[in-house]
Structure 1
């Protein structure tokens, strides 16, 4: 049976939840108010949620909860780095669960959203029914090096990498995370905008194998580029506020929670080997390798796999709770 995104549905509730003196988090709900609660964690950091994320889930079965993480999307204030760490976001997820009076929920996400989901799971494992995760990223040094240094993904995309690194001073090109951090911490707004577009375009170009032959990718949303680049740079410069190998070292906390892991074989943003390592340490997880997919959550085979996974998980959860 072939799957596709479920039909577009409207939200039945939108609100802003105050989670600190400085931050208000945008939350939306759609689908069945009495269905299986699921929270979807968007990528980035700084990517913001998409109306199409709702469409991974059958609206007759699921109570679908999306939110924009601190500093991006519709959350306020935008582009704020104050009190904005992985653990602030983890606590925001828990605050949302309590606010919505949910006992336990399915936790789903893609890319950076998988990092956040796993950190949330390690801290709040008793609040999770199951996971559905796409494009695993664990926030380790080898992953940062793969993405941003010249001997990783750059080996496959040397022309694009030259554009990515061209905004940096010559002496900073050996370690772009340091160079980009300097630009984003400065006061030159034109330089920040130019660097944000270069950062975002690099990731866009790495993210899909399906559409690049149709038309060249370009940055069409400057605000999204600013959020993605500056928040991602801030988090990655700080090692995502995690000790090295934090998630793998704490797998025992989530080992018994069922999980479906989906990963494109040709994912150039998040390496398949990382997902394989995770699943080998997770007794209740299964890994589905997509043979014709890259990183994007909206390539054809990936859409099919995620929607099939949400259907499979709904059946499993309904049977296990009868």
Structure 2
């Protein structure tokens, strides 16, 4: 099985002011003259991790990564104002123009797959190919599956008991709203405790085998606060998408090369999501592998690295 490329440091970083409020952290890695690829992180609100640079051959790719509004090293941290799917789509276009990229491969996982589809459908003329992992289509039923009492609560009952148990019993019929009230209240200790309970639930479901390191990362202040606040904000607004928008508009991108990679045992974004996308987009390659949700799962890494190597041969 293929593994990630060795760790790499950026050859350039910058701050990109995208409006009166938000400034994005951007980095470029690999070969400045290589095939441009844009990495879109998950969440929304999760931010970048160093291993995100390692899916791509650094001798053949110009690798562009950025922390989305409110996430990671972008500022203001965990900011919700002017933070929506379409603000971020506009940010991607601004970044493309700033970097003088005509067309690029767009690579996104989980929420990053949602954003990649939204961007490509809005700007197909600037996309060379789409590589999507852990499909999330932003539909209300997908949010209910994991964050309210959907199927995931039956599969991880002990972790669910901790996540739901943070909220008083009288409010548990509306868990998302109950968490929202606490994530946006005036008391800092309450906000942090709610964010960490949210992060523990999500981090505990990411991998096929339980990973204490992943849970620790998702409950750290830096990740938990932006992840929980921004996710709750987006989910309360149906990810700023119309009903089944990404599937209904799939004809806008069916001419583009597409690869869909999904863990068969993904508890956060069930395999049905990938199957629905593949049915709407039969020209795309679908790889259903033995894995959970995380991009770091070995079977997912294997397919993603092979796919990016193949695209480098075909497109450069």
> Which TM-score band applies after superposition, normalised by the shorter structure?
over 0.9
Once the two structures are superposed, residues 252-280 of structure 1 have per-residue CA deviations (whole angstroms, 9 ceiling, x without a partner) of 11111111110000000111111111011
Once the two structures are superposed, residues 286-306 of structure 1 have per-residue CA deviations (whole angstroms, 9 ceiling, x without a partner) of 100112x10001111111111
* Contact 2:204-2:210 at 8 Å conserved across structures: no
How is 1:118-267 mapped onto 2 (pairs within 5 angstroms)?
Answer: 118-212=117-211, 217-218=215-216, 219=218, 221-267=220-266
Structure 2: distance between partners of 1:151 and 1:18: 39
How is 1:1-322 mapped onto 2 (pairs within 5 angstroms)?
Answer: 2-212=1-211, 217-218=215-216, 219=218, 221-291=220-290, 293-318=291-316
* Contact 1:210-1:299 at 8 Å conserved across structures: no
Once the two structures are superposed, residues 48-83 of structure 1 have per-residue CA deviations (whole angstroms, 9 ceiling, x without a partner) of 011111100000010000000000111111111111
The SS at the match of 2:39 is strand
* Contact 2:199-2:215 at 8 Å conserved across structures: no
Once the two structures are superposed, residues 112-149 of structure 1 have per-residue CA deviations (whole angstroms, 9 ceiling, x without a partner) of 00000000011001100001110000000110110122
Structure 2 gap segments, 5+ residues each: none
Structure 2: distance between partners of 1:203 and 1:217: 8
Structure 1 gap segments, 5+ residues each: none
Structure 2: distance between partners of 1:50 and 1:116: 18
* Contact 2:68-2:88 at 8 Å conserved across structures: yes
List structure 1 runs of 4+ shifted beyond 3 angstroms: 214-220
Structure 2: distance between partners of 1:210 and 1:304: 17
Structure 2: distance between partners of 1:283 and 1:220: 38
CA RMSD of aligned residues (A): 1.4
Q: TM-score, normalised by structure 1?
A: 0.95
- 1:284 deviates by 2.5
* Contact 2:183-2:192 at 8 Å conserved across structures: no
Structure 2: distance between partners of 1:220 and 1:90: 28
The SS at the match of 2:108 is strand
Q: TM-score, normalised by structure 2?
A: 0.97
